[in-house]
Amino acid sequence: MLPFKLIYSDGYYLPIGAHVFPAEKYRRIHDQLLAEGVAEANDFLEPEPATDEDILLVHKPEYVFKLVTGRLTPHEEMEMEIPYSRDLADAFWLAAGGSILAARQALADGVGISIGGGFHHAFPDHGEGFCMIHDVAVAIRRLQRDGKIRTAMTVDCDVHQGNGTATIFAGAQAESDPLPSAGPATRSSSPANSALRGRMRGAQARDVFTISLHQHNNYPLWKPPSSIDVDLPDGIGDDDYLAWLDNALSSGLRHFEPDLLCYLAGADPYKEDQLGGLSLTIEGLKKRDELVFRVARARNIPVMVTYAGGYAQKVEDTVTIHCNTVIAAKEVLSAT
């Protein structure tokens, strides 16, 4: 039995037809965790959908009304890049409920993993990039409203920048000077061409500190400032990525002490991802997960996990990367 809970429902499936987003991945992760003996049936908890009141903690009433009544404009539906249906809206309400439960479980057990969620491109007033509702933001605001947490930190390792997260939790308007510790650029012996190096920049945070590590030359074109953005060059591999992540985590935790860390464990920095341009291996991605869990564990910060993107040419690779996140959490928790 795992020392933490996995949050899952068959209702996480997104009814979007043939699509680059592998909507069946959630069920496949669930099945593989059981088949490989990583988890047992009683390690899983079934979430309830978030209430409309929960959703309204983050999203504008006009947008929520459109989603509930099916009145998105064709432009809004196109921007979301997934076909609207009432069933699809239900799946997003359930994902938000799953993230709320995962966050509560993280406070109880140190870690809580939702086998879903991580819809970081959803904005208060519209959806984008396969994301309708920002489940992680809803979970943070709900736990704050309940007085369970005061502050949170998002650590977004999806290959795409967390533009919805940055907007929802935007701090001071002005972008601050680049952080003094400019990452592990000295590790790289590549030509002194700054375009080939990563870049770390930051803005001030209020009650939620946002970190995003992403490929610079990728969606979204407009990247609203997170508290720390690490703009990674195309094609970087495991070692450079891990050094940047380590650096971003230490910088973030020097500036901010969160009551909860929300880790978005996107599988799309993988070298064979169809929508990503980094070169991480499956082993490197597991090390990434271990690093996040280890750093949080050392500081006694509870971690809630959501899965965000993953578009590997072979769906089984995406499933394996996501299953490895559970294994990494198990290993780190049992080692300490």
Chain residues binding Zn ion by CB under 5 A are 158, 160, 266, 268, 309
Measured from the CB atom, is 49 or 162 closer to Zn ion? 162
Q: Residue 323: what residue type?
A: C
In the complex, minimum distance from the CB of residue 309 to Zn ion, in angstroms, rounded to a whole number? 3
Measured from the CB atom, is 158 or 290 closer to Zn ion? 158
* CA-closest candidate to residue 25, choices 325, 330, 323: 323
In the complex, minimum distance from the CB of residue 266 to Zn ion, in angstroms, rounded to a whole number? 5
Measured from the CB atom, is 4 or 263 closer to Zn ion? 263
- Give dist(CA 27, CA 326) in Å, integer: 15
In the complex, minimum distance from the CB of residue 278 to Zn ion, in angstroms, rounded to a whole number? 11
Measured from the CB atom, is 278 or 295 closer to Zn ion? 278
- Give dist(CA 276, CA 309) in Å, integer: 10
Measured from the CB atom, is 144 or 154 closer to Zn ion? 154
Measured from the CB atom, is 112 or 309 closer to Zn ion? 309
Phi, psi of 200 (to 5 degrees): -115, 130
In the complex, minimum distance from the CB of residue 311 to Zn ion, in angstroms, rounded to a whole number? 8
In the complex, minimum distance from the CB of residue 62 to Zn ion, in angstroms, rounded to a whole number? 27
228: tokens are 């720390």
Tokens 């650096």 sit at which residue?
A: 247
- Give dist(CA 22, CA 267) in Å, integer: 12
In the complex, minimum distance from the CB of residue 218 to Zn ion, in angstroms, rounded to a whole number? 8
In the complex, minimum distance from the CB of residue 43 to Zn ion, in angstroms, rounded to a whole number? 27
Measured from the CB atom, is 128 or 158 closer to Zn ion? 158
Measured from the CB atom, is 142 or 160 closer to Zn ion? 160
Q: Which residue is nearest to Zn ion (CB)?
A: 309
- Give dist(CA 161, CA 204) in Å, integer: 17
- Give dist(CA 123, CA 188) in Å, integer: 36
Give the burial class of 163: count Cβ atoms within 10 A of its Cβ; 0-12 exposed, 13-18 middle, 19 or more buried: buried
Element housing 210 (H / E): strand 208-215
In the complex, minimum distance from the CB of residue 318 to Zn ion, in angstroms, rounded to a whole number? 11
Give the burial class of 26: count Cβ atoms within 10 A of its Cβ; 0-12 exposed, 13-18 middle, 19 or more buried: buried
What are the residues facing 153 on neighbouring strands?
Answer: 209, 261
Number of alpha carbons in the 13 Å side-chain half-sphere of residue 322: 36
Q: Give CA angle at 314 (310, 320), nearest 5°.
A: 65
Three-state DSSP class for residue 209: strand
